[in-house]
Amino acid sequence: MQPYNRRDFIKTATLALSSISLAGLPFSFGCRKKEGLFSDNSSPLSLWYDEPASVWTEALPVGNGRLGAMVYGGKENETIQFNEDTLWSGQPHDYAHEGAHEYLGQLRRLLWEGRQDEAHELGNEHFMSQPFRQTAYLPFGNILLNFPGHESASDYQRRLDLGEALSTVSYKVKGVQFKREVFASRPGQTLAIRLEASGKGDLTFTAGLDSPHSKYHVSVDGDHIILKGKANNFHQGRDRNGYPYPESRLTFEARLKVKQEGGKYNKKESSIEVVGAKSAILYLVAATSFVSYNDISGNPQQRCINYLANLEGRSYEKLKAEHIKDFKSLFNRVTLDLGNSEISKRPTDERLVSFTKDEDPAMVTLLFQYGRYLLISSSRPESQPANLQGIWNDKLEPSWGSKYTLNINAEMNYWPAEITNLSECAEPLISMVEDLSETGQNVAKEHYDLSGWVVHHNTDIWRGAAPINGANHGIWVTGGAWLSQHLWWRYQYTGDKEFLRNRAYPILKEASRFFTDYLVPYPENPEWLVSGPSNSPEIGGLVMGPTMDHQIIRNLFSNTIEAAEILGIDEDFAAELKEKRERIAPNQIGRLGQLQEWLEDVDSPENHHRHFSHMWGVFPGCEINRRKTPKLNAAARKSLQWRGDGPVGWSRAWQVNLYARFGDGETAHDRLVKLVARNAAPNLLNKCWDNRIQPFQIDGNFGGTSGVAEMLLQSHLRDEHGDYYQDLLPALPSRLSSGKISGIKGRGGFEISLNWEDGRLVSVKVKSQQGNKLNLRYNEQMVSQETIAGETYTFGRTDFNK
């Protein structure tokens, strides 16, 4: 196949790495005082810039859950890099290692005897996934637009309006006003682009497609530009144990339909030229042969033809109105206002530079809502869940395969889903857990000779569940158990019993079943049951009994027991879980007053590792909390303080949530500021490491959004009857002393709006969705109220003074 000649379009160095040194001085854009073309630059819900993006981390993301795109906004050469969420390397594959369980007893013995190196060796040789590594999420292609003569554009501005999920570019060339608009429509399953000139006949451009994959071909048929290809391989050859990596087998197709108003249309071999038009509309559709994790018999060509056929008869304006309505139906459920300052009006990249020192509370609003925007754009029912990069990836070899890391990252992506009223956006994660509860059964059988299901620290689109990469951190058994928490959360927030009965409970039950027989007695105290071989994620190597596993398994058992009680089933099984839950090794306070990360008291104050997995019991778990377990809470706090301010984006984001749970708004806010100052790229996507432009990792964005919500509302604790407390403003930082939020959700089915001034609650409005008892708590004062489903209740500050 002949690769499309990209040089037709790239005449300037728009796509080359910027000459700005992003390594040393990340965001030194200088001071630009020029006002943009748009009247309302102060809109708190937009990102805007007065230069095109020169690198991917400056481009602006749009997405409909399945299709994602990054808009560069180039003047002469526009690039819209796009993804489709099923384009992965590899093919359907069962990663379980046949007969691995024969080595399980030996692994445990070695670890009890302190022979960790030997255990690692044995694990690497006999206990790991086949092959050793999983596949990668891949980029799809680029829409390339060339506008001759536009290099001299002036009055330039590009922006992303979160409220309408629209990306726009606007500028002037020789007195003619040009405008581009891009959105990813979910109702239309298309990436829609409108190009427009103020003068009749002033719009001239060439449109084309290309792809980074080795095998692809571009052709033109009527007004369609057609890109066909086959996915590249990510891993090749054989793994370290000689097991072959499966070839990539997915095929893909994209079609760009070009429709102009006025002017001439010239069909070229692999591009379309439009000369002298008033405006043009471009629709991109894309699909692969992926059907499900074990079926790739889909027909991408037919899918593209169907998508385009569905667009027939719908005007661009209608499509845009449908898109905005669809997007707003989710986005508008929550509003946040933390006030504005003069700085809020500046271009987004300038605000990033000043955020650490200047008052810019609207930046917190922007970050909070950007997280919600990104979740809606990357995770909708029937799409794949948001991976390490959501759905935005331009690299054939993305960091960590842009897949799903389950020892923190994938779950963090979904922390904001329920509390920020986007329950539907968690649906892809829940579907993935359903798939994993199937593939994880064979892993339970082959690796542990047990029933139920188990998943280790990573998965991919083929739903790999076996331990990967290296025994010292890959053999970690609680990936599936952690994921199961999200099914329970859905029930806690929505009260949906059908969901609990038909979808959540079977998954929880089989995840628990695995652990009932997996846990083993602790030789030094056989009353205790411990997990292992496992690890405290990515630190300390393979061990028996890491604290995090025990916290997660206790949480899984508790949720399963409660679900069985609500559904009135499986009494005996619930009793067995209760008995075992009591025996799981407890959280322990060590010699320096810290919460122990392991069974042994070996934690060090010098350890600043990015993972602080034993904090799981504080958040996202809740068995350690300042009200019911104050001593453990203080120990956890001490351990977290030892870790410093978190060396990577996602660990800083986790700290925002943890300090919010500790009721420490000041430190939570400090970590939020650092999350932005050290990890936000110019387009506000979060980077994993400080001061490095790549890799981008979306967990920092989602964890940040969840952290802001946790500062304002927490609902994880319950009274003696099992009714949730809604803790209002539990960790309000002084720099966010006045504001209002509407529509966030508390467990038990409450939609809550709050208003506060000078650091104090002014009023609260609660809509009860399930008719549960409402327990509002503010400043240690309680207001309790029986509620009726559908009714709204309002309270003022004085209600909390009684």
**Residues of this chain, 137-156, that bind ligand FUC according to CB under 6 A:** none
| Site track for ligand FUC across 333-372, x = CB under 6 A | ----------------------------------------
Looking at the Cβ atoms of 665 and 695, the one nearer to ligand FUC is 695
Cα-based distances in Å from 609 to 173, 232, 300, 477, 647: 52, 35, 44, 21, 7
Looking at the Cβ atoms of 227 and 688, the one nearer to ligand FUC is 688
CA dist., res. 641 & res. 633, Å (int): 12
Tokens standing for residue 727 = 């803790």
Choose, by CB under 6 A, the member of 69, 287, 388, 656 that binds ligand FUC.
388
Tokens standing for residue 94 = 């069962």
Looking at the Cβ atoms of 388 and 584, the one nearer to ligand FUC is 388
Taking the complex as a whole, the smallest distance from the CB of residue 389 to ligand FUC amounts, in Å, to: 10
Q: Which residues contact 129 (CB under 8 A, 6 or more apart)?
A: 95, 96, 97, 456, 464, 466, 467, 468, 474
Please name the residue that has the structure tokens 């922007």: 366
Question: What is the helix, strand, coil percentage profile of the chain, to 5?
Answer: 35, 25, 40
Taking the complex as a whole, the smallest distance from the CB of residue 95 to ligand FUC amounts, in Å, to: 18
| 686 contacts ligand FUC (rule: CB under 6 A) | no
Taking the complex as a whole, the smallest distance from the CB of residue 456 to ligand FUC amounts, in Å, to: 12
Tokens standing for residue 260 = 């102009």
Helices 104-112 and 116-126, axial angle in degrees (round to 10): 170
**Residues of this chain, 592-611, that bind ligand FUC according to CB under 6 A:** 610
| Site track for ligand FUC across 689-718, x = CB under 6 A | --------x---------------------
- Closest Cα partner for 730 from 631, 615, 646, 625? 625
Looking at the Cβ atoms of 552 and 648, the one nearer to ligand FUC is 648
CA dist., res. 390 & res. 65, Å (int): 9
Find the Cα–Cα–Cα–Cα dihedral 233, 238, 243, 244, rounded to 10°. 40
**Residue 618 near residue 636, CB atoms below 8 Å:** yes
CA dist., res. 368 & res. 161, Å (int): 14
| 652 contacts ligand FUC (rule: CB under 6 A) | no
CA dist., res. 490 & res. 503, Å (int): 11
**Residue 60 near residue 51, CB atoms below 8 Å:** no
Taking the complex as a whole, the smallest distance from the CB of residue 646 to ligand FUC amounts, in Å, to: 11
Taking the complex as a whole, the smallest distance from the CB of residue 401 to ligand FUC amounts, in Å, to: 9
Taking the complex as a whole, the smallest distance from the CB of residue 473 to ligand FUC amounts, in Å, to: 8
| Site track for ligand FUC across 214-253, x = CB under 6 A | ----------------------------------------
| Site track for ligand FUC across 90-109, x = CB under 6 A | --------------------
Taking the complex as a whole, the smallest distance from the CB of residue 408 to ligand FUC amounts, in Å, to: 7
Taking the complex as a whole, the smallest distance from the CB of residue 649 to ligand FUC amounts, in Å, to: 8
Beta bridge partners of 77: 146
Taking the complex as a whole, the smallest distance from the CB of residue 650 to ligand FUC amounts, in Å, to: 6
Looking at the Cβ atoms of 344 and 535, the one nearer to ligand FUC is 535
Tell how many helices (H) and how many strands (E) occur in the chain. 19, 31
Taking the complex as a whole, the smallest distance from the CB of residue 516 to ligand FUC amounts, in Å, to: 29
| 688 contacts ligand FUC (rule: CB under 6 A) | yes
**Residues of this chain, 536-565, that bind ligand FUC according to CB under 6 A:** 538
Choose, by CB under 6 A, the member of 324, 556, 648, 685 that binds ligand FUC.
648
CA dist., res. 696 & res. 422, Å (int): 23
Looking at the Cβ atoms of 470 and 532, the one nearer to ligand FUC is 470
Looking at the Cβ atoms of 253 and 538, the one nearer to ligand FUC is 538
Looking at the Cβ atoms of 137 and 400, the one nearer to ligand FUC is 400
Q: Element (H or E) spanning 126, and its range?
A: helix 116-126
| 135 contacts ligand FUC (rule: CB under 6 A) | no
Taking the complex as a whole, the smallest distance from the CB of residue 388 to ligand FUC amounts, in Å, to: 6
Query: Parallel, antiparallel, or unpaired: how do β-strands 203-210 and 190-197 relate?
Result: unpaired
Looking at the Cβ atoms of 124 and 409, the one nearer to ligand FUC is 409
Looking at the Cβ atoms of 82 and 400, the one nearer to ligand FUC is 400
Choose, by CB under 6 A, the member of 79, 289, 377, 405 that binds ligand FUC.
405
Q: Is 330 helix (H, G, I), strand (E, B) or coil?
A: helix
Taking the complex as a whole, the smallest distance from the CB of residue 648 to ligand FUC amounts, in Å, to: 5
Looking at the Cβ atoms of 520 and 552, the one nearer to ligand FUC is 552
Other CB atoms closer than 10 Å to residue 87's CB: what's the count? 31
Strands of the sheet with 251-261, listed across from one edge: 46-49, 154-161, 166-173, 176-185, 190-197, 279-288, 251-261, 224-230, 215-221
Q: Which residues contact 318 (CB under 8 A, 6 or more apart)?
A: none
742, exposed or middle or buried, with CB in 10 Å at 0-12, 13-18, 19+? Answer: middle
CA dist., res. 449 & res. 84, Å (int): 38
**Residues of this chain, 22-81, that bind ligand FUC according to CB under 6 A:** none
Instruction: Report how many residues bind ligand FUC under the rule CB under 6 A.
Output: 10
CA dist., res. 234 & res. 219, Å (int): 26
Choose, by CB under 6 A, the member of 4, 400, 482, 528 that binds ligand FUC.
400
| 409 contacts ligand FUC (rule: CB under 6 A) | yes
For ligand FUC, the binding residues (CB under 6 A) are 388, 400, 405, 409, 538, 610, 648, 650, 688, 697
